[in-house]
Amino acid sequence: MKASVCLVFAVVCWMAAQAEESPKILTLSKVMNELNKVNHGMVSCKSLNSPTINDLKDCCVASALECFRSQVLNLSVADAKLKRSQRIISHELRKSVIVKSVSSCKTEEIQTSQCKSCDSYNKVDSRMFVKNFQTLLQKVSSKQS
């Protein structure tokens, strides 16, 4: 009897964990898809502050995502559909499901990591900004799989 209760409990816990992971993966996939659309529809180059993978420590991923989120609306795009894609990216990255998924560090670890502010990252052109953004999203996504 105890063994079957333990087995049922284990299955329920596993199912709950699987259900919790899928919103993160779905949200990241949606953001990556919309970013790809924006990338193909950019009309002019702008300089934007951009974290790179080399700049990031694990505890600074959330602040880097916030930096990208805060600047994605500044990309110059060709039409209203792409403006909508930019708003979707910004909205999806505000969701707590993403922030929680990359914020595995304790408060004291984040403080000692000394994450950079967004305006302290080097400025790059729009194409490199999107490339760096995509690389970070892939890094976050691979940690979720």
Tell me the per-residue pLDDT of 32-68, one tens digit each, with 9 for 90 and over.
999 999 999 998 888 999 998 877 776 788 889 999 9
Q: Let me know if residue 115 belongs to a domain.
A: yes
Q: How far is CA 71 from CA 3, 7, 64, 79, 138, in A?
A: 53, 48, 11, 18, 18
Name the burial class of residue 97, with classes exposed (0-12), middle (13-18) and buried (19+) by CB atoms within 10 angstroms of its CB.
middle
12 pLDDT more than 90: no
Helices (H) and strands (E) in the chain, counts: 6, 2
- Provide the CATH number for the domain around residue 71: 1.20.1250.70
Total domains, the chain: 1
Tell me the per-residue pLDDT of 93-118, one tens digit each, with 9 for 90 and over.
887 667 666 666 766 665 556 788 99
Q: Let me know if residue 69 belongs to a domain.
A: yes
Q: Let me know if residue 104 belongs to a domain.
A: yes
Per cent of the chain over pLDDT 70 is 71
**Which domain, by its residues, includes 96?**
23-144
Radius of gyration over every alpha carbon of the chain, rounded to an integer in angstroms: 18
Q: Let me know if residue 139 belongs to a domain.
A: yes
